[in-house]
Structure 1
Amino acid sequence: MTTPDTSPRRSRRPAWAGRNYSLLAVAAFVTTLGSHGALIASAFAVLDAGGDGGDVGLVAASRTLTLVLFLLVGGAVADRLPRHHVMVAANALNFLSQGAFALLVLTGEPALWQMMLLSALGGTGQAFFNPAAEGMLMSSVSGEQASRAFAMFRMAMSGAAVGGAALGGAMVAAIGPGWVLAVDAVAFAVAAVLRSFLDVSHIAPREPGGGLLADMRDGWREFTGRPWLWGIVAQFSVVVAVVGAAESVFGPLVARDSLGGPGPWGLALGAFGVGTVSGALLMTRWKPRRLLLAGTLCVFPLSLPAAALAVPVPLVALVCVMFVSGVTIEVFSVSWMTALHQEIPEEKLSRVSAYDWFGSVAMVPVATALAGPAEAAFGRAASLWGCAALVVVSTAAVLLVPDVRRLTRREAGPIGKQPAPEVVSADAE
């Protein structure tokens, strides 16, 4: 006769991976899987409808333009309302806009203005979602385990990016972009259901403030009072813009003309995703003491994909370059999230995140819209070499900010109540 096992069962999850963290990770995995396929599908939907590089840029710019316009409002709203409600509403809007985009592509040749309008609606949803999601994620883990939690989260997202890009490219080639866009719409619906179960009872009720504009001004003061924060955001306003133009506009064109179409381009994007998985895995073990110095040095390799497309190099070489840039950007991303979690009070996370996102993507609509005219004026290769040079110059410039070189990691401390940032003296450099 056996006796019942009354010993406590060990949880299969680590202590820091609580219910909220797990729900956030699963939902983000689902949407990342869909969106990376949709990134390829939307570009080729424009091309299949008779558009050119300029039209691809206009559709991409429409999404980013509304993202930029509504980000600051989205950040303030996410710090005033329950963040999971904001996230669910944003996912619902993305489901509707992406579903309509898919329907148009599947039933005929969509007009350019229709694709731009639906892309703009998707950007609006993202503007409200991003600050709420970042604030929710950062409040779901302890300060002591934040770096590992962020690395594991990003590793899951990177794994979804690998599958989404590779599968999306293959699906676009096999059955067309419309079905890939439809899958992305379903992914948003699934994620909205998952995020509706998030628990925000651990977050203290917000104190009544002076209104939305006052909250935005408060976030601005928090943002501008930290040179390392606004310095890196200014850097990434350039980096994200030129990398976005290279990948969303020039990449599909180079793939069509020199690599063999959407399948090889999807493989290259998948290699970038494999690199980010590897970089996130590295960051579960490596904890650089000077968070931002290590992260910023790892931004320089982001210039390599644009240079590789400018040549253009063979597919094997492009895949290797994309892998390396994926590894290094993930070192930056985890270091950056850890710095924000360590230094920014919880009740201001979404507002600061909104200014972060705003600065980082503000130039993307301009860059993507000008990609086509730049190609016509200077040639594709020269435009891509210019993108690579801007990444190098802006990254070198931000290293002149002392706090970027000196900000150091603290291993413990309650969220939002950390002491002032510890910096290394100049003599110790």
Structure 2
Amino acid sequence: MSTSILLFTRDLRVRDNPALAAACRADRVVPLFVLDDAILTVPNRVRFLLESLADLRASLRAAGGDLLVRRGDPAAEVARLSREAGADALHLADERSAYGTRRLAALRELDLAVTAHPGVTVVPPGALTPANGDHYRVFTPYWRVWDAARRRPEAPEPKAVRLPDGLDAGPLPTGAELVSGPCSPDPAPGGERAGRARMRAWLRETADEYDRIHDDLAADRTSRLSAYLKFGCVSPLELERASRGGGREGFRRQLAWRDFHHQVAAAFPGLARRDYRPRRGSWNRDEDALAAWREGTTGIPIVDAGMRQLRREGFMHNRARLVTASFLTRNLNIDWREGLRHFDAWLTDGDVADNAGNWQWVAGTGNNTRPGQVMNPLRQAARFDRGGDYVRRYLPELAELDARHVHHPWTLPDDRRSALDYPPPISGYRTPGEDG
């Protein structure tokens, strides 16, 4: 009688899960998640992870199985469980982050047949390569081949999950048992059911308008599916197929950007630590400016609103991410790694490849073909928060101001310095290469 172990990683779902479908072809299957302290560092993500695991466990129990939860080193826990269950094969999602690559290498040292399956991205990293390199460095040619690439078939949801007898599933810990620190007060719920409900509602009500309204900060009409993609609660392939046609092409490009950053990170594992593209000049080391940016007290309303949204929700609108990142790296001239660390500490959807790839793109050290590009926050506010509703939503200090005044740089009541005190000044200032 054959027994397989399924190690869940970034694929916390039962629908379109190639690793789960393959593992269930054995006579018996052991679904497993290992809580590794190396990745249990951010309260918002730990909370979302635990909610997702509880939802996954309920789905597996409905199919006759269970989710075993262990804490420790993944390779050591898989080895221990393989002896206990008599397993001879291991299946998991092919996850190409630096951490995922190290984990897979350790698992391949075990006395098991190890198979890594697609499912974390629409197109796996490395599946598309240019003629003169190991990965695409520019998005537009990648988009063309990505758009035309053949897709794998969606994996069937298993009708039954047959667990070996005598295995202890283990309890799900609380967040406080795993990590210390505050969570955002208004987070999105974790889990496949919540993710699929969000996906269905967005596809039904908003997706056809995406190309027209996705940059409207106040409307808040983006998909908000990023955390569900990060944890694999929603299949990126299923979402991409459902996003074809209508006014959804811009959203498909966002999914392609996600895949693009994953293939860059697979080829350049130091993406979160080192400049992808060499940069001239030095960064400012201004702790007061950095602290004001983190706290949302720079004095530039559109920037401060974005930073307040991040802390309140563990999420930030994509346009606000670009504006706040450009302000830190271009106007304050502070190292993108400082911004990356702060985003990583709060984002529920904090994905190494996407987070680092986007920060480097904005800072001019990444895959931006216009590395001198700068976003003027006041012009961005006028274009994408015309009535000021986004700012008023997250800055109660400015709630009474009308549209004519709400985006004016402001001075804090306690006389702390505003961003206007830091070079270069924002109001009336035009940076070379600025495009709005």
Report the TM-score when normalising by structure 2: 0.26
Larger C-alpha radius of gyration, 1 or 2? 2
Structure (1 or 2) with the greater strand fraction: 2
Report the TM-score when normalising by structure 1: 0.26
Structure (1 or 2) with the greater helix fraction: 1
